[in-house]
Chains A and B, each alone.
Chain A
Amino acid sequence: MIKKLIFNDVKNNKLMSAASVFFMTASAMLLALAVMLSADLMGAVEKSAERANIPDIMQMHTGSIDETLIKEFAESRSEVRDWQICRFLNLNNSEITLGSHSLADSTQDNGISVQGERFDYMLGMDNELPDVREGQVYVPICYRKMYELSVGDIMKIGGSELVIAGFIRDAQMNSMLASSKRFLVNAADYEKIRPRGEEEYLIEFLLTSGSDINEFSTAYAAAGLPSNGPAITKPLISMMNALSDGIMILIILLVGIAVILISILCIRFILLLQTERDRTEICTLKALGIEKSDIKRIYFSKYLMFSFCGAVIGLAAAFLLRLPLGEEIREFYGTGDNGIISCILSISAAAVAEGVILLAVWKILKKTDNMPPVEAMVSANDSERSGRRGQYLLIGFVTAICTFIMLVPQNLYTTMSAPDFVSYMGIGNSDMRIDVRMTEDIGKATERIASELETDKNVLKYSVLCTKTLTAELSDKAAVNLSVETGDHTLFPVIYSKGRYPEKENEIALSSMNAKELGLDVGSELYLTVDGEKTKYTVCGIYSDITNGGKTAKACSTAGGDSIVWSVIYVSLADGANKDGWTEHYRSLGADVTDIADYIGKTYGQTLDTVSSAAKVSAVTGAAVTAVVVMLFMRLIAEKKRGEISLQKALGFKAKDIMRSYFAKGIIPAVSGIAVGVLSANILGEMLCGAALKLLGADSFRFVIDGGRVYFILPMIIVITSASAVLTGIYPIKNVRAYECCYGKE
């Protein structure tokens, strides 16, 4: 009997039923997809890291090295499970050609390496250890798509030629956010090419589980071991690896939660309308003696069936979308072992989405408890009189949420692609960047380029910043290694969340991650050991930096020119300067020149592409949800008010006038909702994205807003969509006949 009731109800209320199933499907799909991709990503990253056996801490070092000292240190520390020293041959990008593409423009430090002896493996596409033969090379997977490479292509390093035998996943440096890329070669080829590059050492340690990486790092620095380069930790690698795809998942999750919210609002509305419309029937059932719990069960069974359909269709769609959306995850990290867990989790996510909606349905159905059986005698039309106030608010809620999900990814995209975004990377807004890294004497090479810049008429201003790795001693005597960028920080200032840039000697600014980890704030003091001498420095500012693991520092100058690890020169060009010619000229001087816009494109290109796709998908989703919900809502209102409309017509109102009044009732809350959505996307959205980026070390995050899009184009799209939806929804008013209020609908 219940089956028949449900079947006939669905048949007679196709629109309401389809809308309910649509919302339940969308909720289940988005939540299941977000969970599935998260599980896939985490599983794949974990498996890849486990198979690659990445070190817990890796100290990069340029210069000579004494293995005995490191061995003694490792043996003296109980938490060291294993250690090794890998060699990385840093090559000049202009000497590398991949297929037909030169890497001269690459913003990465490209180099070759041999397979790790006992851990830190570079893995093949089946997560195997590739057997690299002489004359062969395995290329980082991120370059496959970027340079359209395939197996059999040739890689040239100066005069040497290597055949690309495959691609590798380098768990440590997979992400484009990591600044170096390792090509895997045979030991014999490494030795052959060695004279062409500068060798760097990767001093790697595997620690026992539960060890304090920071404490170990401090002990390492205190022991005065080689540390001329940044130190990278395992959690940082995992975070960088997960970032780009993580953002996509985060956006899907946000949209999913928003859709669940909208679904609950819409289903609540549909159900309230239906129970109000069926008031007489419900009261009749009560009058016949059927218990209220049984009446609720009849309605609930229908939504239970809807939710089952929604969950099944949603899960199927999520599984289908998993393939294209998870393609990058599979390519970069392979597939994890948690396929079953991923399935279970996604089914649970769909169940949670449906459960939340069903809970809301049950809560709404409880309202039928208060319908007295005596109302069975009241005419069905009388229920129209009990129209709730504020029902049009739902339109406002929906347009606000849809505007929010349309604008936040858009704002995030605009912010990340804006020139000022470099500020979050710890560098000021300039046109060009010159890196001086692989030379015998970085100090001298830097001076030579600086003197050239001094007389260059194309140069508006420039700033030379030399990075040194210095040992800092805190007030509690703990010692840590700091990468300190020295020079004039006033010319291209970064964004300071606290304090200001260093302008006096003995002032130091710290990246927010460093400040947090060291427990220092503006005004705190620390001692830097420069050329064996301790000098007191005062923290003058804290800034955002998401490069080099977010752990950097800035000071005006320190002595010890020969301890420079690398130097960077930021340049602003004069108007009308020929950028290409200028770049060529400085490259000919042996410098690595990068266009900042290009640098951002290459470093964040992958992430930007993801955010851009997410922004487009969110915009389409937002507009589609607005169209469906507003149209449905107005259609239901028109149906509910049929008696009233018929009466208005009987009294002489024209269809046009009635429609105009309903149009106003629909469009006013829609536009108000859009305004609220724009405001909350700019304020609340900024807070949400800021909180996420803070994890990566970017403090004081501010949206860069594309006024045209955010305040005009996108809101106009929703306004037009809402207006069209309202008009479509109220169109049936035309067909309401004046006699219906007397005889009923025929």
Chain B
Amino acid sequence: MNYLLKVENLCKDNILNNITFSVEWGEMTAVMGPSGSGKSTLLYNIAGMDNPTGGRVWLGSSEITSMTEDEKASVRLHKTGFVFQQMNMMKNLSIMDNILLPAIHANKGKSGKTKKELTERAELLMKKLSVSEIAERSVKEVSGGQLQRACICRSMMNEPMILFADEPTGALNKSAAAEVMAEFEKLNSEGTTILMVTHDSKVAAACSRVLYLLDGRICGEIKLGKPVKGTERQREEKLNGWLSEMGW
């Protein structure tokens, strides 16, 4: 199989218990579960931000769990992108600078891209995600939806192999959440692999696959297939039906 991410018997204290699953290239996967089920902990351990107490994680051919902290940092910078629930932008930088920050850092040295090239890429991404007009604004001067889209731009700057998202719509209102999800779908349709944690079935319904986590274990999964325009309602109903079966 063509796996991009492979998780094997992942454990973290008493929160995660022998989690095993994999994500294919180009997939958009959601992890759902009630509060305290370990969704976010799973994401942090897979993304190399936290250290699991057992099990292994591979990203492509590299085993993340055996890496040093600096190696993990390098993977986070060059190979993965992360979208936070609270956006977490540097308040002392403009939106554009925030987007550029990891890219400039990743391209330090002679062989890296020039600042001009990076700025062009940032402008392209911002145009794609419809946030060009906020480029020079400060973090405090934009709406939540705009900020989250800018955060997605930042996570995409280094052309990551996979995009992790932790409750990306958790801090947004309904219309902003819809805008952000539309962008995720667009990115996924262009080939970006996405793994997100959410408790919103509407958001999860936009994914091709949903894993259900309960008490630190994966209790089930449902494949919804690639989203097709006009089928959103059916997908959501299908997912909700499955979730009630799972005890949601």
Contact A374/B82 with A4-B97, A289-B74, A294-B105 known, Cβ cut-off 8 Å: no
- Contact yes or no, A1 B86, CB < 8 A: no
CA distance A290 to B154 in the complex (A): 13
When distances are taken between beta carbons in the complex, the residues of chain A under 8 Å from B91 are: 12, 281
Which residue of A1, A291, A294 is within 8 Å of B100 (Cβ)?
A: A1
When distances are taken between beta carbons in the complex, the residues of chain B under 8 Å from A372 are: 49-50
Best-surrounded residue of B47, B50, B86, B104 (most CB of chain A within 10 A) = B86
When distances are taken between beta carbons in the complex, the residues of chain A under 8 Å from B69 are: 292
Contact A1/B44 with A281-B88, A284-B88 known, Cβ cut-off 8 Å: no
Q: Is A651 an interface residue (CB 8 A)?
A: no
In the complex, chain A residues 141-177 whose Cβ is within 8 Å of any chain B Cβ: none
Task: List the 7 shortest-distance A-B pairs measured between CB atoms, nearest first.
Answer: A289-B77, A289-B76, A8-B92, A284-B88, A373-B49, A374-B50, A374-B49
Contact A280/B88 with A286-B73, A373-B49, A374-B44 known, Cβ cut-off 8 Å: yes
- Contact yes or no, A288 B76, CB < 8 A: yes
- Contact yes or no, A287 B76, CB < 8 A: yes
CA distance A237 to B100 in the complex (A): 68
Contact A5/B49 with A286-B73, A288-B82, A294-B105 known, Cβ cut-off 8 Å: no
When distances are taken between beta carbons in the complex, the residues of chain B under 8 Å from A280 are: 86, 88
22 A-B pairs, CB-CB below 8 angstroms? A1-B100, A12-B91, A281-B88, A281-B90, A284-B84, A284-B90, A286-B73, A287-B47, A287-B76, A288-B77, A289-B73, A289-B77, A289-B105, A289-B106, A290-B102, A292-B69, A292-B73, A372-B49, A374-B49, A374-B50, A376-B84, A377-B86
Q: Determine chain B's interface SS by DSSP, over half rule.
A: helix
- What does the 1/0 interface line of B80-94 toward A look like (CB < 8 Å)? 101011101111110
Which residue of A9, A288, A291, A377 is within 8 Å of B44 (Cβ)?
A: A377
Q: Is A578 an interface residue (CB 8 A)?
A: no
CA distance A1 to B101 in the complex (A): 7
Give chain B nearest CB distance to A146 CB in angstroms. 60
Q: Is B70 an interface residue (CB 8 A)?
A: yes
CA distance A390 to B206 in the complex (A): 51
Tally of B interface residues using CB under 8 Å: 33
Contact A5/B100 with A286-B73, A377-B166 known, Cβ cut-off 8 Å: no
When distances are taken between beta carbons in the complex, the residues of chain A under 8 Å from B106 are: 289
Give chain A nearest CB distance to B104 CB in angstroms. 6
Best-surrounded residue of A5, A289, A290, A374 (most CB of chain B within 10 A) = A289
Please name 16 further chain A to chain B contacts, defined as beta carbons within 8 Å, in addition to the given A1-B100, A5-B92, A284-B90, sorted by A numbering: A4-B92, A8-B93, A12-B91, A280-B86, A287-B49, A287-B76, A287-B84, A288-B76, A288-B102, A288-B154, A289-B74, A289-B77, A290-B101, A291-B74, A374-B49, A376-B49
CA distance A5 to B88 in the complex (A): 15
Residue in chain B with minimal CB distance to A11: B92
When distances are taken between beta carbons in the complex, the residues of chain B under 8 Å from A373 are: 49-50, 76
When distances are taken between beta carbons in the complex, the residues of chain A under 8 Å from B76 are: 287-289, 373
- What does the 1/0 interface line of A260-291 toward B look like (CB < 8 Å)? 00000000000000000000110011111111
Q: Is B40 an interface residue (CB 8 A)?
A: yes
- Contact yes or no, B93 A5, CB < 8 A: yes
The A-B contact count (CB < 8 A) is 81
In the complex, chain B residues 51-105 whose Cβ is within 8 Å of any chain A Cβ: 69-70, 73-78, 80, 82, 84-86, 88-93, 97, 100-102, 104-105
Contact A291/B73 with A373-B49, A377-B40, A377-B85 known, Cβ cut-off 8 Å: yes
When distances are taken between beta carbons in the complex, the residues of chain A under 8 Å from B70 are: 291-292
Q: Is A379 an interface residue (CB 8 A)?
A: yes
When distances are taken between beta carbons in the complex, the residues of chain A under 8 Å from B82 are: 287-288
CA distance A376 to B84 in the complex (A): 8
When distances are taken between beta carbons in the complex, the residues of chain A under 8 Å from B74 are: 289, 291
CA distance A330 to B85 in the complex (A): 68
Give chain A nearest CB distance to B105 CB in angstroms. 5
CA distance A251 to B92 in the complex (A): 42
- Contact yes or no, B77 A290, CB < 8 A: yes
CA distance A1 to B92 in the complex (A): 11
CA distance A377 to B164 in the complex (A): 13
Contact A1/B77 with A288-B82, A377-B166 known, Cβ cut-off 8 Å: no
Which residue of A8, A289, A376 is within 8 Å of B75 (Cβ)?
A: A289
A-binding residues in B (CB < 8 A): 40, 44, 47, 49-50, 69-70, 73-78, 80, 82, 84-86, 88-93, 97, 100-102, 104-106, 154, 166
Residue in chain B with minimal CB distance to A13: B92
CA distance A374 to B40 in the complex (A): 10
Give chain A nearest CB distance to B169 CB in angstroms. 15
When distances are taken between beta carbons in the complex, the residues of chain A under 8 Å from B40 are: 377
CA distance A481 to B138 in the complex (A): 84
Which residue of A8, A286, A379 is within 8 Å of B86 (Cβ)?
A: A379
Give chain A nearest CB distance to B7 CB in angstroms. 17
When distances are taken between beta carbons in the complex, the residues of chain A under 8 Å from B104 are: 1
CA distance A5 to B75 in the complex (A): 24
Give chain B nearest CB distance to A281 CB in angstroms. 6
CA distance A280 to B85 in the complex (A): 13
Residue in chain A with minimal CB distance to B72: A289
Which residue of A290, A374, A379 is within 8 Å of B73 (Cβ)?
A: A290
CA distance A281 to B91 in the complex (A): 9
- What does the 1/0 interface line of A565-608 toward B look like (CB < 8 Å)? 00000000000000000000000000000000000000000000
Contact A377/B100 with A4-B93, A281-B90 known, Cβ cut-off 8 Å: no
When distances are taken between beta carbons in the complex, the residues of chain A under 8 Å from B44 are: 374, 377
Best-surrounded residue of B78, B80, B82 (most CB of chain A within 10 A) = B82
When distances are taken between beta carbons in the complex, the residues of chain B under 8 Å from A285 are: 90, 101
When distances are taken between beta carbons in the complex, the residues of chain B under 8 Å from A294 are: 105
CA distance A373 to B40 in the complex (A): 13
CA distance A373 to B49 in the complex (A): 5
Give chain B nearest CB distance to A515 CB in angstroms. 65
Give chain A nearest CB distance to B194 CB in angstroms. 17
Give chain A nearest CB distance to B150 CB in angstroms. 14
CA distance A286 to B49 in the complex (A): 8
- What does the 1/0 interface line of A361-392 toward B look like (CB < 8 Å)? 00000000000111011010000000000000
CA distance A290 to B106 in the complex (A): 8
Give chain A nearest CB distance to B39 CB in angstroms. 12
- Contact yes or no, A288 B86, CB < 8 A: no
Which residue of A5, A289, A292 is within 8 Å of B90 (Cβ)?
A: A5
Give chain A nearest CB distance to B106 CB in angstroms. 8
Give chain B nearest CB distance to A366 CB in angstroms. 14
CA distance A4 to B78 in the complex (A): 23
Give chain B nearest CB distance to A172 CB in angstroms. 64
- Contact yes or no, A12 B92, CB < 8 A: yes
- Contact yes or no, B97 A1, CB < 8 A: yes
When distances are taken between beta carbons in the complex, the residues of chain A under 8 Å from B88 are: 280-281, 284, 287, 376
CA distance A287 to B166 in the complex (A): 12
CA distance A290 to B88 in the complex (A): 14
When distances are taken between beta carbons in the complex, the residues of chain B under 8 Å from A281 are: 88, 90-91
Best-surrounded residue of A8, A290, A294, A377 (most CB of chain B within 10 A) = A377
When distances are taken between beta carbons in the complex, the residues of chain A under 8 Å from B166 are: 377
Give chain A nearest CB distance to B241 CB in angstroms. 31
When distances are taken between beta carbons in the complex, the residues of chain B under 8 Å from A291 are: 70, 73-74
CA distance A287 to B89 in the complex (A): 12
When distances are taken between beta carbons in the complex, the residues of chain A under 8 Å from B89 are: 284
Residue in chain A with minimal CB distance to B78: A289
Residue in chain B with minimal CB distance to A288: B102
Contact A290/B84 with A4-B97, A5-B92, A374-B49 known, Cβ cut-off 8 Å: no
CA distance A9 to B90 in the complex (A): 10
- What does the 1/0 interface line of A74-99 toward B look like (CB < 8 Å)? 00000000000000000000000000
When distances are taken between beta carbons in the complex, the residues of chain A under 8 Å from B84 are: 284, 287, 376-377
Best-surrounded residue of B40, B76, B78, B89 (most CB of chain A within 10 A) = B76
When distances are taken between beta carbons in the complex, the residues of chain A under 8 Å from B92 are: 4-5, 8-9, 12
When distances are taken between beta carbons in the complex, the residues of chain B under 8 Å from A374 are: 44, 49-50
